[in-house]
Structure 1
Amino acid sequence: MSTEKSFANGSAAPGPVPEGCIRLYSMRFCPFAHRTRLVLSAKGIKHDTININLKDKPDWFLEKNPLGLVPTLETTAGEVIYESPITCDYLDEVYPQNKLLPSSPYAKAQQKMMLEHFSKITPYFYKIPMGRRNGEDVSGLTAELKEKFAKLNEDLVNKKTKFFGGDSITMIDYMMWPWFDRLEMFELKHCLDSTPELKKWAERMSEDPAVKATTHSVDTYKAFTKTYINGKPDYDYGL
């Protein structure tokens, strides 16, 4: 079973996970769930997707994941895995095709450390637009974000590689991408103007088949965000 429309409280629970398949509980516009969708697509993993209404979650979903978060994975054996980096690492380990994490323990640790650093950047993507909407001066926050981007740019310059883990896309690129995919929606694309290597990285990423398969148009992102800001998120927008 695979659905686009979201399941809300009161909806019947989906049936068992089909044999030879893994199930993703997701939300179409969630950047964290986007990470897992990218990995599923990049690795060509057979899966079905159940979208969840995050404002009115079904009880049966909360029984599977008491935190009520997406992404959540469920196997045919009823095993449940959640938190985006954990779901992605799990998929890379269980499905050996198209490995995304490096085999070297040190290189793997480097990617995880970089992900920790990136987790300190993601709040800026929300704070700046929110501050702007509230009529606040966000120039200081914008300058800070540009500094963070400058460090990422420097990392690419020093490595002399096309992507953050080498000359092909690896896990860290997919872990970072959902927020860059939404740069135009956040009206932050200009923050890449003084980071040419990072800008080239974003352009290369946008050509990746998994990226193309899991994105929405800027207009769709903006329209959903408008419903979210108004307090009535339309998780089924555009369907």
Structure 2
Amino acid sequence: MSEKHLQTGDALPPYGGKLRLFAMRFCPYAERTVLVMNAKNLQYDTVFVNLDHKPEWLLNYSPKGTVPALEYEEGKGIFDSNIINVYLDEKYPDVPLQSTDPLRRAEDKIIVELFSGVQSAFYTAAYNSHALQANMVETYHKGLVALQDTLRARGTKFLHGATPGLVDFTLFPFLERFEALPLVGKSEFELVKSKYELLVNYIEAMKIVPAVKLYYLSPETHAKFIESRNKGDANYNMLDTSGVCCMRPRKKKE
């Protein structure tokens, strides 16, 4: 398996006849869709792209030049993780990832919306630290406390219930990366277990979910990528060992 990121001038690999995801290996938004596809045991290929030097054909599937983008039929694509993931959950209902209760689905969307401030604080801390302000640290921790309170109120192992669902797979890619912040000198963002015991236990439970375990990267790996990007030379291919194109088959859906 290769995790080489294709860039400007590289040819688009031939279409393999199944779902194809355009992603960047260190992008939390792309990871959201990977986790959903894994959880649904879908068969798909992955093409990783260099977002600093984007291949020209990416715009055919994502007019904004962002990832993830999903090629659902040859030459036809949709983009944005939230749009893709709802589409996948409705198109492939055998492993449902959303509640059948409209109110619970709305509440899950509110959880994700309220978490956006935490995500913004993370990006500032990781990639624009000179702009970091005290109120951003406060926003970050308030958001984590609110998420922990929601977990406590629901009283289930995961936000979705006994098993993780769309809301869990939407938030976890960021929680995965938060653990890298102290490793890049941002100790004020640490998830101290004495304060976040329930949340830390939730994160640890998510790490061993099969859909997550297939794609999870350690805090040390995320820290290395953050450092490389901040030096002006993001090392997109730090995980690639094969030197061949990154077509990544998934287990065939039964």
Using structure 1 for the length normalisation, give the TM-score. Answer: 0.90
Uncovered stretches (5+) of structure 2, i.e. residues with no partner: 183-188, 241-254
Uncovered stretches (5+) of structure 1, i.e. residues with no partner: none
**1:68-217 matches, cutoff 5 A:** 68-130=65-127, 133-134=129-130, 138-187=133-182, 188-191=189-192, 193-217=194-218
Give yes or no for contact 2:5–2:50 (8 Å, CA) kept in 1.
yes
Change (3 A) 1:117 1:140: closer
User: Which whole-Å CA distance do the structure 1 matches of 2:47 and 2:132 have between them?
Assistant: 40
Q: After superposition, give the CA deviation of every residue in 1:177-215 in whole Å (9 maximum; x if it has no partner).
A: 011111221223335541322222112111211111111
User: Which whole-Å CA distance do the structure 2 matches of 1:144 and 1:113 have between them?
Assistant: 17
Give yes or no for contact 2:71–2:77 (8 Å, CA) kept in 1.
yes
SS in 2 for 1:194: helix
User: Which whole-Å CA distance do the structure 1 matches of 2:137 and 2:61 have between them?
Assistant: 39
**1:32-71 matches, cutoff 5 A:** 32-71=29-68
- Give the total of aligned pairs: 234
Change (3 A) 1:130 1:61: closer
User: Which whole-Å CA distance do the structure 2 matches of 1:143 and 1:165 have between them?
Assistant: 27
Change (3 A) 1:30 1:168: same
Structure with greater contact order relative to length (CA < 8 Å, sep ≥ 6):
2
Question: Higher mean Cα deviation, 139-148 or 73-82?
Answer: 139-148
1:81 is displaced (CA, Å) by: 1.0
SS in 2 for 1:48: strand
SS in 2 for 1:66: coil
- Over the aligned positions, Cα root-mean-square deviation in angstroms equals 2.0
In structure 2, the residue matched to 1:232 is: 233
SS in 1 for 2:195: coil
Percent identity, please. Answer: 32
User: Which whole-Å CA distance do the structure 2 matches of 1:109 and 1:224 have between them?
Assistant: 35
In structure 2, the residue matched to 1:22 is: 19
User: Which whole-Å CA distance do the structure 1 matches of 2:164 and 2:97 have between them?
Assistant: 8
Change (3 A) 1:125 1:192: farther
1:144 is displaced (CA, Å) by: 2.8
- AA partner of residue 225 (structure 2): F
